[in-house]
Amino acid sequence: MSDLETTERVLPSNAPGEDVAFEILGDGDFPTAEMSLSIGPAHPATHGVFRIVLDLDGERVRGARPVIGYMHRGFEKLAEYRDYRQIAALTNRHDWLSGFCNELGVAIAVESMLELEVPDRAQWIRMLMAEWNRILNHLMFIGSYALELGAITPMFYAFREREDIQHLMESATGGRLHFTYNQPGGVKIDLPKGFLKRSAEISKVTRERFDDYVDLVLGNEIFQGRTVGVGPLPQDVALSLGITGPTLHATGIAEDSRVTEPYLKYGDIDVEVPLGENGDAFDRFYVLLHRIRASLDIIDQIHDHMPAGPVNSKLPKMVKAPEGAIYVRTENPLGQLGYWLESDGGRTPWRFKMRTPSFSNVQAIPYLMQGALLPDAISILGSVFFVVGDIDR
């Protein structure tokens, strides 16, 4: 029971920006109980079937436990029963927002094992598509993160741009989400007539509209109030948890395999890696947004470099990777994607292991949510940028 005679002044230690002292009447023994709140697997903020169990004291989060696996589809095992061309249709499904970038990893792995020289044009086309896919992915997260903070409009704006880009990619690949355009040895088919012109036009339009996002979302006072200083991630924690992509770049570490270990023709062009400073939610969003501009710069360079020539190399009907193993890492929109491919010389892989960026990135959630407020927990959840299919595979 509470004794109302004694008084005590306390400063809430964890609350962001708190400088107001509260006076607690009594001995402070007002009986409170922690409440366990299960967010998900079906919840608007988890975009998919991700579940997170929060221990709440009022609105303050005392502990957070992510529960994953609701969307496990067994892609690694399924890949052991598909030949090397068919795997592309599996891999563009684990992170459904970056289908093309996923296929790319498999194609590069098989080609490296075959020691196959891929035609130049195919490599430049792959880069072009990968960067457009990166922009598609980031636009989606810009919309959905703003939605998690309660702003409904950016989602519709992002989808306006996404629609143009999806039309563009559809004209070459025939797919809007699952492209299945990569094959060992190149890409499925050459670009249609007028593709580069249309691509340049969309690049220009998207660049013009990019400023709108900076003004309307990044420059919004309430957006800044909800994100600045929320969920800061120190560099050492980020590195020890294996976090990559925009979430890592926000802490100021410029590890991007397009720069540090270039694949395709990324070595021939300038790749800018936008960096943050504090690693908080605002920086993560800032990096994500500015990666769109960086990708548009890359796309413009690719337009200038695009050579003529074949887009595929002659391969037997059944591609068989030689006996051995390889690990290929590529910079996916959400972070580092690694494929470990082990072959016994047969027509299917003997073992196919995925290292997906979302899986590593969600490891930061318990650390980031400790001591946050419930609305901040949602802000943090959205700002580590994950796709549930990419966590569970």
Partner 1 sequence: MTVLTSTTALAQAPSILDVGDGVVLPILLKVALVLGLFFVVPLVGGYLEHKVMGRMQNRRGPVEAGPFGSLQLVADGIKFIQKEDIIPRAADKPMFALAPGLALVPALLVFLVIPLGPGVFAVDLELGLFYALAITSISVLGILLGGWASANKFSLIGGLRAGAQLIAYELPLIITAITVAVMAGTLSLVGIVEAQANFTLPGLEGFNLWFVFPQIVGFAIFFVAAMAELSRPPFDMPIGDSELVFGYMTEYTGIKFAMFLLTEYAGMITMSALMVVLFLGGWQILPGVATPGCEGAAGIMSCDPIGIAISVLVTLAKIMGLVFLMVWARVAYPRLREDQLQRISWLVLVPLSLANLAFVTILTVVL
Contacts with partner 1 by CB under 8 A lie at 15, 35, 37, 43-45, 59, 146-153, 156-157, 160, 216, 220, 222-223, 225-226, 373-376, 378
Query: Closer CB to partner 1, residue 269 or residue 374?
Result: 374
Q: Which is nearer to partner 1, 243 or 378 (CB)?
A: 378
Residue type, 386: F
Residues paired with 54 in a beta bridge: 37, 64
- Of 223 and 263, the one with the shorter C-beta distance to partner 1 is 223
3-class SS at 78? helix
In angstroms, give the least distance from the CB of 161 to partner 1: 10
Minimal distance, residue 171 CB to partner 1, in Å? 22
Whichever of 35 and 254 has its CB closer to partner 1, that residue is 35
DSSP assignment, residue 267? Answer: G
CB 271, min distance to partner 1, A: 32
Q: Which is nearer to partner 1, 53 or 275 (CB)?
A: 53
Contacts (Cβ under 8 Å, ≥6 apart) of 115: none
Smallest distance from partner 1 to CB 378, Å? 5
Q: Which residues, in sequence order, are CB contacts of 260 under 8 Å at separation 6+?
A: none
- The least CB distance from residue 285 to partner 1, in Å, is 12
Distance CA 79, CA 77 (A): 5
Nearest distance, CB of residue 18 and partner 1, angstroms: 9
- Which lies closer to partner 1 via its Cβ, residue 156 or residue 194? 156
Structure tokens at 264: 């395709």
247/141 Cα distance (integer angstroms) = 13
- Residue 56 or 169: the one with the smaller Cβ distance to partner 1 is 56
Query: Which CB sits closer to partner 1, 131 or 161?
Result: 161
Provide, rounded to whole angstroms, the least separation between the CB of residue 374 and partner 1.
Answer: 6
Closest approach, Cβ 174 to partner 1, in A, equals 27
Structure tokens at 200: 């340049």
CA distance 364 to 332: 18
Cα–Cα distance measured from residue 337 to residue 354, given in angstroms and rounded to the nearest whole number: 8
CB–CB of 208/214 below 8 Å? no
The nearest distance, CB 93 to partner 1, in angstroms, is 26
Residue whose CB is less far from partner 1, 357 or 382: 382
Rounded to whole angstroms, how far apart are CA atoms 226 and 244? 23
Q: What are phi and psi of 352, to 5 degrees?
A: -135, 110
In angstroms, the CA 42 to CA 50 distance is 8
Cα–Cα distance list, 124 to 115, 128, 310, 374 (Å): 19, 6, 12, 45
Provide the pairing of β-strand 51-57 with 22-25: unpaired
Do 102 and 313 contact (CB within 8 A), yes or no? no
- Looking at the Cβ atoms of 17 and 194, the one nearer to partner 1 is 17
Contact of 236 with 274, CB cutoff 8 Å: no
Report DSSP state, residue 268: G
Closest approach, Cβ 148 to partner 1, in A, equals 4
Q: How many CA atoms lie within 13 A of 299 on its CB side?
A: 27
Tokens 């299919």 locate to: 389
